[in-house]
Amino acid sequence: MILNTGGRTDIVQYYSEWLLNRFKEGFVYSRNPFYPSKVSKYELSPDKIDCVVFCSKNYEPILERLHEITDKYNTYFHYTITAYGKDIEPRVPSIEKSIETLFKLEKIVGKQRIAWRYDPVLLTNKYTIDYHLKTFECMAEKLSKHIDRCIFSFVQIYKKLKTNMPEARALNDEEKNLIAKGLGKIAKKFNIHLQSCAENGDYQKYGIYPSGCMTFEILGKANNIAFKKLKHNGMRKNCNCIEWRDIGAYNTCPNGCRYCYANANPEKAIENYKHHDKNSPILLDKINDTDVILQANQTSFIDRSLNLGLF
C-alpha cells in the first residue's frame, strides 16, 4: 500500500509530532470524508506500507526526526514551492527559506527522492505569465541539482476557489501553451525533468512529460525497488498515479492558501487545528461510539521476487 501524508492537509508542517507518534505506535485511523462514521485503520509497518509519500510546503518541523521514518520505510517527497507571496499563501515560508529547507531535506534523503512541485499555476493582475516564467527560472537555477524532477499543473476553478479567490480565473489554451513552452525551455536549460500533473493538454512538444506524480516508475527508481506490473485507473480524471491511501483530513491546514481545494475556508481550518490532539490515533477530533472502525485492505504492490532494496 502507498501511504499519502499530504493529500488533504500539510501534515508535515503542522502535525509532524502526531505523525511520528502514529508510526511509533504502529497504526493510524483515517475518517472517510464522505461517510464520516466510517473509519479505516491502517497498520504502519514496513511490511504493510510499500512507500510513504509526503507533500508539504515546509519540511523544517520534521527534519530532525525524519530518520525515524526514512530508516525503516521507502519514501518520496513532494516539496511545493511556488511564485506566490503572502497575499496568496499567508503562512507559507518565503521562496528563499523554502529553498534552504529543501537543501537540508536533500542531505537527509537524497535528490532522487525529491520532486519540486510548482503548482497550481494561476494568473492574476500581479501573477502574470511573465512573472511566473521569471520566478520559475530563478528557482530552477537554484534547485536543478537538488531534485529528481519538477511537476506543474494549471489551476482548476473549483467552487471553493471562486469564493476564496475570486480574482483567479481559468486559463485559456493560448495562455497554457505560452506557459508550458516557457517552462519547458527553462527546464531544458537547467536539465530538469519537467512533467505535467493531471492535465488535459499535450505539452510533449515543449519537452514536458505526461505522467503521474506517484507512479511505480518514480517510486521504484527512487527507492531501488521493483513493483508488480499492474493496471490502474489513476486517482481522478486525467490522473496517472497509482492507488494510494491518505491519512489526513480536509479543513485542517492552517497555511491559508487561497487556491486550496482541501479547505472550505481558512477560518474553519484554523479552528479545527486548535482541537487537534497529537496523541490521538486520528488527526482530527476523536473516535466516537457511533464510529465503525474497519481494518483497511493493505495490498502490497511490491514484487518481492525482484526485491532490489527493500528494508
How far apart are the C-alpha atoms of 191 and 196, rounded to whole Å? Answer: 16
pTM of the predicted protein model: 0.94
Residue-wise pLDDT for 110-138, tens only, equals: 999 999 999 999 999 999 999 999 999 99
At residue 233, the pLDDT reads 59
Q: Centre a 10 Å sphere on the Cβ of residue 187 and count the other Cβ atoms it contains.
A: 24
What's the rounded mean pLDDT across residues 232-255? 79
**Placement of cell 527534519 in the chain:** 63
Tell me if the bond preceding 90 is cis, omega within 30° of 0: no
Q: Distance of alpha carbon 160 from its chain centroid, rounded?
A: 19
pLDDT value at residue 162: 81
* CB atoms closer than 10 angstroms to residue 246: 20
Q: Is 224 helix (H, G, I), strand (E, B) or coil?
A: coil
How many CA atoms lie less than 13 Å away from 209 in the CB half-sphere?
14
Q: Is the pLDDT of residue 239 over 70?
A: no
C-alpha to C-alpha distance for 203 and 206, rounded to whole angstroms? 6
- Please report, to the nearest 10 degrees, the dihedral formed by the alpha carbons of residues 34, 36, 39, 40 taken in order: 10
CA 273, distance to chain mean position in Å, is 19
Provide CB contacts within 8 A for 138, sequence distance 6+.
Answer: none
Percent of the chain with pLDDT over 90: 80
Instruction: Please give the single-letter amino acid code of residue 48.
Output: K
Q: What is the mean pLDDT of residues 21-34?
A: 97
- Weakest-pLDDT range from 33-47, 65-79, 191-205: 191-205
Task: Give me 135's grid cell.
Answer: 520566478
Span 135-172, pLDDT tens digits:
999 999 999 999 999 999 999 888 778 888 988 888 99
Q: For residues 62-72, give the mean pLDDT.
A: 98
Judged on CB neighbours under 10 Å (0-12, 13-18, 19+), 286 is exposed
| 5 contacts 19 by C-beta, under 8 angstroms | yes
Q: Residue 311's pLDDT band (boundaries 50, 70, 90)?
A: very low
Say if residue 61's pLDDT is above 70.
yes
Kindly give the interhelix angle for 129-143 and 173-189, rounded to the nearest 10 degrees.
Answer: 20
Strands 114-121, 75-80: pairing is: parallel
Report pLDDT digits (tens) over 215-236. 999 999 999 999 988 776 555 5
In sequence order, what are the beta bridge partners of 211? Answer: 197
- 212 compared with 95, residue with greater pLDDT: 95
Q: Of the given ranges (11-20, 28-37, 261-270, 272-281), which has the lowest mean pLDDT?
A: 261-270
